[in-house]
Each structure stands twice: as C-alpha cells, then as structure tokens.
Structure 1
C-alpha cells in the first residue's frame, strides 16, 4: 500500500517550507503542496472544502465549530502569528491622537470575522477603553470593491455595522475622510509616512512589546486544519502532520540564526532575532496547546464577545486529541 496523498494549501513561510520542498516528509503521507495566498486558501476552504489539509484563519475555524458536524479538525500549529497594534490606521485630520479617541468613530474593517480584527477589537476593549460597541463599523474591500464575508455573521443589534458602497474601497474612504480609521491585517495603499493616513500607534513596536510584557500573549492568526472526513477515516494523520510541521519549524528557526549569510533581506535580522528571544523566550513561535493556552483562551473570549461564536469554546475543544499528544515526546 502506498502513501496517503493529501493536498496541503498553505502560505509560503519559512516554517512550512521544508514540507513544501520535501526536506521534511510526514510518515506515510505524500503531500501535494499548494502555496497559495492566504485569502484564496481561506475562501476556497470555507466555501468549498477543497483541500484535505490547509492553513485557515483561527477566527474562521472557531466559527466553523458552530456547525454540526463541524467540517474541520485543527492541529495545534500556528503558521501565522503577529502583533496587531501596527494594523490600526487613522485619517490624520480626524483628530484621533490616542486609542480612546476611537469611541464614537466610524472604523473600517475588510471583514468582521477576520482574526486580526478580532484581536484588535479585543485589545482595544481590554486595554485601551474602547468597548467593541462604542465604534460604528464599515466592511468591504480594502483595495478592490466588492469584498464580502467568507462566512455569514449574525450580530443582531449588538454591533452597528454596514457595508460600504459597492464601488468604494476602504483604503480610499480612509484617505478622503469618509471613515475615520481602519483596522486591517494589510497596510492600506493610501498610507505614506508623514501623509494623510497614519498609524494610530506612532511606535507600534514599542506598544507591542509592552503588550507582550504585560500579557505574555503573542497573537495567533492561523491554524492548520484537516478536513473532518479525512480525519475520521485516517485519525493517525493528525499526530503525523503535527510532528512534521513541528520539525519543519525547528529547521526554519535553526536556519534563521545562521549569521554567515542572511536568509532574508533584512539588515538587522540577527539582532532582531536575539531581541525577540530575550523578550519572549527561546521558543517564541511555539506550537502546541499548553504553551499557548492563555493566547487561545483570550482569543476565544473575544470571538464569543464579538458575536462570532454561539458559545465560548475552551482551548481543548479546538484540536484533535492525537495532535496535542504529539508534543509529549
């Protein structure tokens, strides 16, 4: 009997590249690697369940748990993590000088259920006195008109939210003042240092370091999921894939610290890596459940509070049990 062939749709990350290129091979599995933009992967996976294994937005995955049966099972592997203080942009003429000034304003977000948006809204509410319902929201395409939610959301009367005009973009509306601010994982095209669109936090790196020091949270953006029909037929793939993804990340982190020739086009890559380790610990991009329990529990609270999940899930409910046991080695 040959290896099990599975499609694997994921972004082109250093921490997954060993799987894409075959230098790390999961036992008994032949991966058909598809390096796709994350928005395409998420849309195709949420709407059509096209891939057997895929990177998926943490928010979309948690929302999918409300379905019975849920279509996916997650692995405790996080190909994307990112602090999001740098993802809040304001119109420079709107008079927004500090986070509390966002109260009562009109704020754009490409989709309500975006993981980055869930984190931003939760952090603003928890730490900066901006309750989620104190803001009026507008959704739509950031750079191209016509974007819609990947999964339907029903916020009832809790949130004031409406789509932007069909021919408009959030980036243009931010620049011309039709919205006061934008919360997004991507930098808007109308942002220029010193221009009419600026970041809310003048020094987002300092704000993010302060946030980590206070909370210990390095926000999780994406997980890896296995389609439920595949998992139920071959439950062993959960642990096998988790171990392989862990090995791929370990290989990437070792290569990243090779100072003989920089792996990426960033002049101060090595000092930046050393600074991250000093602040966040040696395994700052950790996988697994226990090492990330606080970050996961915080996100799950935000997700429920923001009307995106019908109940507040516990971190243990997210993952295949075989995958959490993969780290006891």
Structure 2
C-alpha cells in the first residue's frame, strides 16, 4: 500500500536534517521536505496554505486561532532563542538599561512577530519598560517594503507608524533616527554603527533562565487543518519522528574527534549549555514547555494581539499530546 505523501516546509536545522536525508521517517507517510527561509515559509503558509506541514511563527499561529484557525499545531518547536540579545541600539547610544528607552522610538520588522512579543514582554515584566511607553516604527530590517503578515486591531495606546517605502530599520538605527530596534535577525549595520544593548547578553539570558526556567519558543510546527481532518494520525507520528530526528541530529554536537561544525570550541559551548539548561535543552511536548507557553500567551494577550488569553492545550491537536504507556 502506497504511503501518503506530505510536503514539509521547515528550515534544514540540525534537529530536522535527519528528516531531510531520510535517516528518520514519519510512520505511515512520505515527506517532501523543503528547506526555505523562515520568512518565505511563513508568508506562503499564511497567505496561500501551500504546505501540508510547516514551521510557523508562534505569534502568527496564535493570531489565526480567532480567525478561522486554518492550522493545528503539534508540540514541536523548530526554533527557540533567548531574546535579550535581540535589542539593538546605535553604537554611540548612552542607553545601558531598557528603562532608559521610555519615551523613545523603537523599530520592529512587524509588531506581531514572536521575537518582538517576547522582547516587549520581558522588558516590561523584568526591566521596567512598559509596552506602551515607546513609539513603534515598522518596516523592513535591511530591505524596504516589509508589512504585517496579518491585520492587527491594537489598543489605542499602542502607537505604530510604518517607515517610509525606501527606508530600512537597520539604516535608520545606525543613523540615530531610532532609539532601538527589536529584531530576530542581526541588523546589517551591526558593528557598523549599531551594537547590542546588552554587551554580555549570554550572561543576562542565562540569569533569566535560572530565574524563570523559560527558554523562549519562536516557531511551532503546524499541520494544515484540512490535512489533519483527512489524516488525524499524522499529528502524533510527526511528534514521534521529530523527537527522533532531534536526538539523531544533536547527538554529535559536542564531538571533538572530528568537528561536525566549523566552530573550534563548539564542544565547550555544548557543555556550558548542558550545565545551564540541562541535558535536554530543546524540549518538545506540552508539559516541559507549559510555563514558557503560558508566559508567551499572556504577553500576546496583554499586548493587544491575541483576542483572549489562550491556554497551552488549545494550541495543539489533542492526539499530539498523548502517548501510549506500555
């Protein structure tokens, strides 16, 4: 019997590479894996539903829940990142503490992107910078023309203005036209007129994890809802395969005999990461991510994005949250 084929759009991360090269299979299915830049995957999935399974911005996914919910997630998180390091200021800025940005102008590629939700929430909750205490400018980071992927209905006290059609946030920051930028990607002007607000961001982020237990999730794996309705077994099989792929893909990350990546001290970073975050520092599943997801969902609602405060269980296909105990 021929196994059904599904197209998976996800960046070829080390934790997904075994699905690309066939070392790990999804039970009962064949995968056609597409390695695409995340922005392209997000746009094509949200605008056209082109893929059966794809990684998607966690924030964008949450916004779809009240707008027809064309996708259903499984508790697999292709991308995570600490976000104190995502705050950039002009090189000559005197700002050393986020609270000093009160009254300032901050650029974000899109107001609703996951990284910006995390940054705003963390700075408000832990660093004395209320979300509405700055004015926001939106647009492309290094290329002009970026717009919000989904329409937003924000509170009146959130001030957002798009930048000019020929402008970029990166150049405006370097020229001092912005006080800061919150960006998941490094601005092209980093080191050329722009620096990170936190010069020792890893230490700040490690302390944040020690205090909160949160390693922020950025992307989630989603199945198009019509695909899930036709193949309800796929959600659980995806979780099982992604767990296996992660184990295979990360198994040699600290190897010293023959370096798997062109980083001479990666082994030391792997050991430091285990010491700070634990042996399985990139967990899938609901329970080990519950506190992280609850925090994000609270931030999304508090910032006027989500229509209500969702519970983590509401994000996922029910079958993807259970496993058989033998």
Task: Specify the TM-score bucket, using the shorter chain as the normaliser.
Answer: over 0.9
Alignment match, 2:12: 12
Q: Does the CA-based 8 Å contact 2:254-2:268 persist in structure 1?
A: no
Mean Cα displacement is larger for which, 111-120 or 195-204? 195-204
Whole-angstrom CA distance in 1 between matches of 2:287 and 2:65:
20
Give the TM-score normalised by structure 2: 0.98
Match of 1:142 in 2: 141
The equivalent of 1:260 in structure 2 is 257
Moved more, 147-156 or 229-238: 147-156
In structure 1, the residue corresponding to 2:107 is in which secondary structure?
Answer: strand
Pair 1:275 & 2:269 matched: no
Cα distance 1:87–1:271, how it changes in 2: closer, same or farther (>3 A)? same
Partner deviation per Cα, 1:228-285 (whole Å, 9 max, x = no partner):
0000111000001110011000111212233221111111111111111111111110
For the pair 1:302 / 2:315, whether they are aligned, the reply is no
Q: Which of the numbers 193, 203, 206 marks the counterpart of 1:206?
A: 203
Question: 1:250 is matched with which residue?
Answer: 247
Q: Distance in 1 between matches of 2:91 and 2:324?
A: 47
Q: Distance in 1 between matches of 2:9 and 2:243?
A: 17
> Could you list the runs of 5+ residues in structure 1 that have no partner in the other structure?
none
Task: Tell me the residue number matched to 1:179.
Answer: 178
Question: What residue in structure 1 maps to residue 30 of structure 2?
Answer: 30
Deviation at 1:210, TM superposition (A): 0.7
TM-score by structure 1 length? 0.97
Indicate conservation of the 8 Å contact 2:141/2:187, yes or no: yes
Alignment deviations for residues 146-188 of structure 1 (CA, whole Å, 9 cap, x no partner): 1001111111403011100111000110011111110000111
User: How do residues 89-238 of structure 1 correspond to structure 2 at under 5 angstroms?
Assistant: 89-192=88-191, 196-238=193-235
Question: Shift of residue 93 of structure 1?
Answer: 3.4
Q: How far did residue 327 of structure 1 move?
A: 8.0
How many angstroms does 1:98 deviate by? 1.1
Alignment-derived partner of residue 2 in structure 1: 2
Structure 1 distance, partners of 2:119, 2:27, is: 39
Q: 1:328 to 1:77 in 2, by over 3 A?
A: farther
What is the CA–CA distance in structure 1 between the aligned matches of 2:312 and 2:86, rounded to whole Å?
Answer: 26
| CA distance in structure 1 between the aligned counterparts of 2:324 and 2:54, rounded to whole angstroms | 20
Contact 1:242/1:326 (<8 A) preserved = no
Which aligned segments of 4 or more residues in structure 1 are displaced greater than 2 angstroms? 92-95, 326-329
| 1:243/1:326 contact within 8 Å kept | no
Quote the offset at 1:190 in angstroms.
1.0
C-alpha distance 265-327 of structure 1, shift in aligned 2 (>3 A):
farther
Distance 2:58 2:37 in 1: 16
Give the superposed CA RMSD: 1.2
